[in-house]
Amino acid sequence: MQTNNLLVEKIFKKKNKINFEDFLELRRQMHEDLLHYLFFTCADENDLMSIEDFLKQTIICVNFSKHNKYLKRIHKVTAMFEADGLTQKVSIDEFLAF
């Protein structure tokens, strides 16, 4: 119940109602906050995400029935990078742009 109250407080900010533009802005902010959370839960001490973690974050875009195939492909791609001695990293700006 406390979480619901906090959400209502944040959404309405002492207003009786919100308009559609306010709702869209709130949705955009929540989406951006979620993306930052996803990025920084995987980021290293230099605020960079490995290519493997980046690819795993994109699994939400894949049809559920193809998740296992996608995970195998992620493993294959990261193994190719490692075999070539490459350590590809993704910045927050690149992550958000994707």
pLDDT tens track for 46-77:
999 988 888 888 887 778 888 888 889 888 88
- Supply the range of the domain harboring residue 39: 2-97
DSSP string, 2-65: HHHHHHHHHHHTT-S---HHHHHHHHHHHHHHHHHHHHHTT--TTS-EEHHHHHHHGGGGS-GG
pLDDT tens track for 7-37:
777 777 777 777 888 889 888 998 999 999 9
pTM for the structure as a whole: 0.67
Q: How many domains are there within the chain?
A: 1
Q: Which residues, other chains included, contact 70 with Cβ-Cβ below 8 Å and sequence gap of 6+?
A: 59, 62
pLDDT at position 32, please? 92
